Structure 1
Amino acid sequence: MQRTLFYATRSMAFSPEAKERLRAMPHSSSRHLLALALLLALLTLSYPPPAAAQPSGVRCFQETGHCIAGQLATFWASNGGLSVFGLPISPLLDLEANGRTLHVQWFERARLELHPDQPPPYAVQLGQLGLETLQGAGWVWQNFPQDADAADCQRFAETGHLVCAPILSMWQNHGLQLDGRPGYTAAESLALFGLPISGLQSETLENGQTYQVQWFERARFEIHPGETEPRVLLGRLGASLFNADTARAVAQRVATPCPFRAPAGVRVECGALLLPLDYGHPAGRSVAVSFAIFRDPRPAPDPILYLAGGPGSPAIEQAVTLWQAWRSFIAGRDFIVVDQRGVGTSWPALRCPEVAAFNRQVREHGLQGQTYAHGEAAAILVCAERLTASGFPMRAFTTAAAVNDLDQLRQSLGYAQWNVLGISYGTRWALALLRDYPASVRSLVLDSPYPLQASLYATMPAHLERSLQQLFGDCAAHAHCASAYPELEARFWRLVAALNANPAAANLGPDPNHFTGNQLLELIFRQLYRTRSLPHLPAAIVAAERGDFGPFRALAAGGSAASTGSSGQSQALYYAIQCPEDLQTLPPGWREATLAAHARVAGFYTGLLELSGEAEPLCARFGAATPDARWQVPANSNAPALILAGSYDPITPPQWRELAAVGLSQAYTYEFPGTGHAVLGRGACPVGMIRSFLNNPAQAPDSGCVAQLGGPAFR
């Protein structure tokens, strides 16, 4: 994936107070202290700021939180950039001028205006900020005294003023590139700065200091003292004139190169939509939301929008793979993939290199369980503080904001409605979209639903136990499995207890010589996600009982849908959403009650950050949005919905398909036997049902294939 870097790597700088907060996080053992010591050592490392990775073709500035793109970015870069215009201080805005509406963007020293009715190079023009500033102050420039002739100066007969050294040199050495030739003609300098409208005069400026200045139609030149000779600087007129409170922001859609190779013969359009970081302050800082559209040659008017899980999982990096896997139901429609704000190629990306660095360190020391969760929470807190200090408060990254982003994208692309396909957290995002913008959704496909009114964490241990019971029950009912692996349930729990009492040298996990029963539960939990792992689990359990962990090593090497180790995962985005939208909605004592009710798996979950006791202090310090009860309100809609769930899913259980259907008058729900998380991975059956549903969502699809799937084909 090609990305442009606009900022050098810088050292992380944390205040002494921040380090003290880390030291103050609760700890109860020497291993907790070791985890904390490792984390504090990471504070000396360097990490790229969040602005480092951004959509190609868009230039975003961490200092102000704004981006430039398209014609304005080209104009800015070609005609002086930072030294002439300064940083962008606004998004694209509407401006009423002379009875028409212009799109403009403010910079520290200028206002760039789009004039689409003008040919290049006049399609982008500069606002007359010098004139506007003087008029706003009640000064009439025509009343300024005209200048007497002087040597080494240039007179402008139009206004009667001279431009002399050192301002003259600055004026002559800058201009707009009108003819494409090196250097600047007088006409090019005039096009950039305009005519002088005052002589050289003393003024006390915004900083309280007095300087010699000269006003031009579009600029104010200032003479500042230098070490050896005076320096000529341009005044920050844009910063003085811009009023964010009265500005009207415009969603700016920009075409960008795709960060992947498109399939042969397929037209793919990629882009970014520049949107408010905070919809309550639309002219404030910005985010860039990346998208990719796979164009169908003869599309229906309603495209398919895919929403990824997580929250925090990139989608665009998988776009080609998804399009290829789902071609049979995508055909006939445009297919849109979006990286949620804070994720993947969107800007800023709320990734936490602190967590990856911490993981590399703790592997050397074999930290695991609750000790690891303590250090992981501290690393995530360090990451959140860094991102917030960079101008991106965690409270701006919510599902509600991401829903607003989607509707802005739909309007910008010109679609009246779309069909929304979500997997895992993507279903929760999709249900929130349906609730907040019901008219925009033609149909919903919810795979492994995470309902708005459900809590993931209060029910996680129960869901794992249910999935294990499904495994043991299916094995007992399967002739080969029951014969080859009798009494599997009892043997499994004896194995868990034995490994907790005497950890094995299994070459699994952070310490190859210390594999516990709780780690076995974690490994099983992750493999229950994967439909293709299910047939192998009984044999792997019995092999481990004999001391042979090779089958489990093979399964672990195959990866897991539950893994969050991707370098593209946005860990800070995960907690920015899950803290206020799930964890902080739970009553006091929920964790203790949950673990007590499911003691057999509690040892595993106490090592998972969200149930370890570390999540509460992390969320309290994280700076996420304040929990809002409206976020748990389900949609109430007539939009048809196809809801699919896997019988083995250990994280979004099959019974949640009925909870997701609450308030949906046309919901068709199905449980797929022998299936883990993400039912679409089951192949032709769910794919065919989705194709049938999209073609006629008012009718339940033919589901005969579901019953034919059966349970796992145990080996």
Structure 2
Amino acid sequence: MSPRTTPRRRPARRLPATLAGATAGALVVGLAAMPAHAESGTDVPIGTVARTVGDARFEPGPCPRTADPIPDLARARCGTLTVPENRSRANGPHGPHGPKESKGPRAHEGRRITLAVAIMPAESRRPAPDPIVWLAGGPGDDAVSEIPMALAGHLNRDRDVIFMSQRGTYSADPVLTCPNIDEFNARALGLVSNAPSTGRLHVDATRACRDRVDGLGADRSAYNDIESSADYDVLRKTLGVKKWNVFGISYGTHLALNYMRLHPKGIRSVGIDGVLPPSLGGGAVTWKAAREGFDGLFKACAEQPACNTRYPNLKAVFLRLVSELEANPITTTVTVPVHPEPVKVVLDGSNLVTWLTSATHVAEGVPRSIDELAHGNGQRIAEQLAGGKYSPQAIGRVAHGLVYGIFCSQWTPYESRADVIRGGHRAFPSFPRSMLANAPQLAWLHDDCRAWDVPPAPPWIRDVTRSDIPTLALSGGFDAQTAASNGAYVARTLSRSHAVTVPYVAHVVFADSPCAQTITTSFFADPAAPDTRCLAGLQPPQFEIAP
């Protein structure tokens, strides 16, 4: 998962100095000549024909704007999908999904929104007829900006890969990003995490975002898994694709699990990486994820003689530091290359947990950083926290309108603050109660959702997904954002599933692990028999040993 408070999961090789994610993007190009392949029995390439299906229309056109240059878009076939913003309004009071209350003015009635589409051609000269559709993480990440990750893993080896920006995200219209929240999250590094005054400022930033979204005329109640699942269903139909495969990462797994039960027709297979089940969504599962990811890393250090000798009892040291810093935070200042002034960082228990949740991506340096902190030097941890929050990739990229639309309609109505505290205590019984209500990555969420003010989704949105669609559930042994055990959890009710944990890798293994990439592409080639032989040769990281 990659919620609103931390930079998203990215490959460790892209994060040597900070924990900032590197996204990429570009504007451009239309319909360059592409190798033709069958689209529903024709020789017309997917995405070159305008088509209307019901109240949705796909139009070929230029590739979308992106936050960073994406040279590969020069080879893409692009266009836009136009859909109703709120299908319950567009289809009458009961809509296609049953009765649904909506907030906001009547001006939303019949409003339509536009979603950017980019289709990257297969590497093969004779691609398979069933493409892959990519579901981005977040919630709130832009799918088109994740093209470099997909191509680096050769996901398009044998199939075209389709990227559609989910509603509200950077390449869509309207764009429901709120840079003020990202900027506040950076400044909040200088505040005590769990102080009531910090919570009030957090909610103030959320209200400002809500007002911005309302000012754009957007219907806050229409940004959720139900509407997004319908968007993907009509995308497949308007592209003329009879069968496709789904690949979701992080939050995209949450959406994929709902999509495959709401609109199963036309789905050949589903890959999910960094699994976040809708039935578990909330603070309790993020506490569990943090515990599993931290334990995986601590165990790897303990099993490596050099690491264990230099940093004995690393887990106990970390747990002790969290409690000590929550009671007596330390304050430091660091220099961030992209920020002109020194940055104040308060290292308290919650910020230490936040740091390690992302630092599992750069696991090699974690034991050394914890040891330095235990000896009074928190500079490296503070620099990584500030580098991530102040990075250009952390500002103005996430669609907080979609983030809150999902969390506040599908999560907080079905999980109380007491549930979060109990989940935190189960995972970390030694942690002070003062920090348990603010789960990792989800600080002040219940307060934010009261300000966001959208109606709850139907209770069935929390049901487990039951399906016989072939599914690959990938997890990482160091994943501290979505628990590795979630893969086995969803596999119990997916009758043709394969749950695979890739050891020594953090959140979203496809981004970091050539082995995970091999498993994924082999699964889409033959969903009954993914090739997992590479798992046997994987080795733990070589942890940094301080002199």
TM range (shorter): 0.7 to 0.9
Counterpart for residue 107 of structure 2 = none
> In the alignment, is residue 646 of structure 1 matched against residue 506 of structure 2?
no
Calculate the aligned-residue CA RMSD, in Å: 3.2
Asked if the contact 1:372/1:607 (under 8 Å) is kept, the reply is no
Cα displacement (A) at 1:357: 5.2
In the alignment, the residues of structure 1 paired with residue 376 and residue 226 of structure 2 have an alpha-carbon distance, to the nearest angstrom, of: 50
Whether 1:445 aligns to 2:253 is no
| Alignment pair present for 1:273 and 2:81 | yes
**1:391-419 CA deviation, whole Å, 9 max, x = no partner?**
21211111110011111111111101111
Q: 1:249 to 1:676 in 2, by over 3 A?
A: closer
Equivalent residue, structure 2, for 1:541? 370
Does residue 1:309 correspond to 2:137, yes or no? yes
Match of 1:369 in 2: 194
Task: Report what 1:103 is aligned to.
Answer: none
In structure 1, the gaps of 5 or more residues are 1-54, 58-115, 117-247
Partner of 2:352: 520
Aligned to 1:503: 329
Counterpart of 1:476 in structure 2: which amino acid?
A
**Which residue of structure 2 lines up, in the alignment, with residue 293 of structure 1?**
119
Residue 322 (str. 1) matches residue 149 (str. 2): yes
- Matched position secondary structure for 1:376: helix
* 1:366 CA displacement: 4.2
Q: Which amino acid aligns with 2:117?
A: F
Higher Cα Rg, which structure: 1
Contact 1:394 1:625 in 2 (8 A): no
Distance 1:393 1:668 in 2: 38
Change (3 A) 1:515 1:558: closer
Q: Which amino acid aligns with 1:590?
A: D
Give 1:250 shift: 4.7
Deviation at residue 425 of structure 1 after TM alignment: 0.8
Deviation at 1:323, TM superposition (A): 4.2
Q: 1:369 touches 1:606 (CA, 8 Å); kept in 2?
A: no
- The CA distance in 1 between the partners of 2:400 and 2:461, in whole Å, is 21
287, 290, 295: which one aligns with 1:469: 295
The whole-number CA distance in structure 1 between the counterparts of 2:166 and 2:401 is: 13
Asked whether the equivalents of residues 467 and 650 of structure 1 are also in contact (C-alpha less than 8 Å), the reply is: yes
- Displacement of 1:666 in angstroms is 1.1
1:611 and 1:688 mapped to 2: Cα distance?
A: 33
Q: Distance in 2 between matches of 1:676 and 1:263?
A: 27
Question: Which has the bigger relative contact order, CA under 8 A and spacing at least 6?
Answer: 2
**C-alpha distance in structure 1 between counterparts of 2:239 and 2:499, whole Å:** 31
Give 1:548 shift. Answer: 3.0
The alpha-carbon distance between structure 1 residues 500 and 429, as it changes in their structure 2 partners (threshold 3 A), is: closer
Shift of 1:333: 1.2
- Secondary structure of the corresponding residue to residue 593 of structure 1: helix
1:713 paired to 2:542: yes
TM-superposed deviation, 1:294? 1.0
* Change in CA separation of 1:347 and 1:505 when aligned onto 2, cut-off 3 Å: same
Aligned to 1:662: 492
Residue 464 of structure 2 aligns with an amino acid whose one-letter code is: P
1:570 shift after superposition = 1.0
**Do 1:634 and 1:663's aligned partners in 2 also have CA atoms closer than 8 Å?**
yes
Shift in Å at residue 655 of structure 1? 0.9
Contact 2:296 2:504 in 1 (8 A): no
Determine the structure 2 residue equivalent to 1:426: 252
SS at 1:289 equivalent: strand
Deviations 1:26-81 (A, max 9, x none): xxxxxxxxxxxxxxxxxxxxxxxxxxxxx999xxxxxxxxxxxxxxxxxxxxxxxx
Q: How many Å apart are 1:545 and its aligned residue?
A: 1.8
Residues 394 and 262 from structure 1, CA distance in 2 versus in 1: closer, same or farther, beyond 3 angstroms? Answer: closer
Greater mean deviation of Cα atoms: 633-642 or 427-436: 633-642
**Match status 1:387 vs 2:217:** no
Deviates further, 478-487 or 546-555: 546-555
**What's the CA shift for 1:550?**
4.4
Letter in 1 for 2:344: P
Contact 1:305-1:336 at 8 Å conserved across structures:
yes
Q: Is the CA contact (8 Å cut-off) linking 1:276 and 1:287 kept in structure 2?
A: yes
Whole-Å separation in 2 of the counterparts to 1:617 and 1:434: 31
Change (3 A) 1:356 1:492: closer
CA contact 1:253–1:412 (8 Å) conserved in 2: no
Same amino acid, percent of matched pairs: 27
The one-letter code matched in structure 1 to 2:181 is V
Instruction: Write the deviation string for residues 187-212 of structure 1: whole angstroms up to 9, x where unpaired.
Output: xxxxxxxxxxxxxxxxxxxxxxxxxx
Query: What is the aligned counterpart of 2:62 among 233, 256, 259?
Result: 256
Q: TM-score normalized by structure 1? A: 0.60
- How far, CA to CA, are the matches of 1:504 and 1:617 in structure 2? 27
Residue 446 of structure 1 aligns to a residue whose secondary structure is strand
Deviations 1:314-339 (A, max 9, x none): 121232x1243022x41221111111
Question: Which residue of 1 is the match for residue 11 of structure 2?
Answer: none
State the one-letter code of the partner of 1:317: S
In structure 2, distance between residues paired with 1:672 and 1:660: 17
- Give the match for residue 683 of structure 1: 513
8 Å Cα contact 2:286-2:440 kept in structure 1:
no
Cα 1:489/1:359, change in 2 over 3 Å: closer
Moved more, 647-656 or 400-409: 647-656
* Whole-Å separation in 2 of the counterparts to 1:337 and 1:513: 37
TM-score (norm 2): 0.77
Corresponding letter in the other structure for 1:444 = V
- Cα distance change, pair 693–372 in 1 and its aligned pair in 2 (3 A): same
For the 8 Å contact 1:449–1:657, the answer to whether it is kept is: yes
How has the CA–CA distance of structure 1 residues 541 and 578 changed in structure 2, closer, same or farther, with 3 Å as cutoff? Answer: same
CA contact (8 A) 1:251 1:273 kept: yes
Letter in 2 for 1:573: L
1: CA distance between counterparts of 2:228 and 2:406? 10
Structure 2 stretches of 5 or more lacking a match?
1-26, 30-49, 92-109, 336-341
Aligned residues between the structures: 464
The separation in 1 between residues aligned to 2:115 and 2:248, in whole angstroms, is 18
Contact between 1:315 and 1:337, CA under 8 Å: does it hold in 2? yes
Instruction: Report SS of the residue matched to 2:117.
Output: strand
Q: Equivalents in 2 of 1:678, 1:545: separation in Å?
A: 30
Deviation sequence 1:509-559 (CA, Å, 0-9, x none): 99637433432222112212x1xx112211111122223334435654774
Deviation at 1:359, TM superposition (A): 5.0
CA shift in 2, pair 1:563/1:583, >3 Å: farther
**Pairwise CA distance, 1:706:** 1.3
Q: In the alignment, residue 501 of structure 2 is paired with which amino acid? A: E
**Structure ranking higher in strand proportion:** 1
| Residues 535 and 563 (structure 1), Cα distance of their counterparts in 2 relative to 1, 3 Å cut | farther
Aligned residue in 2 for 1:282: 90
Q: Which moved more, 1:405-414 or 1:471-480?
A: 471-480
How far apart are 1:626 and its partner, in Å? 2.4
Amino acid at match of 2:413: Q
Deviation at 1:379, TM superposition (A): 1.6
Asked if structure 2 preserves the Cα contact closer than 8 Å seen for 1:641 and 1:667, the reply is: yes
Are the structure 2 counterparts of residues 307 and 360 from structure 1 closer, same or farther at C-alpha, using a change threshold of 3 Å? closer
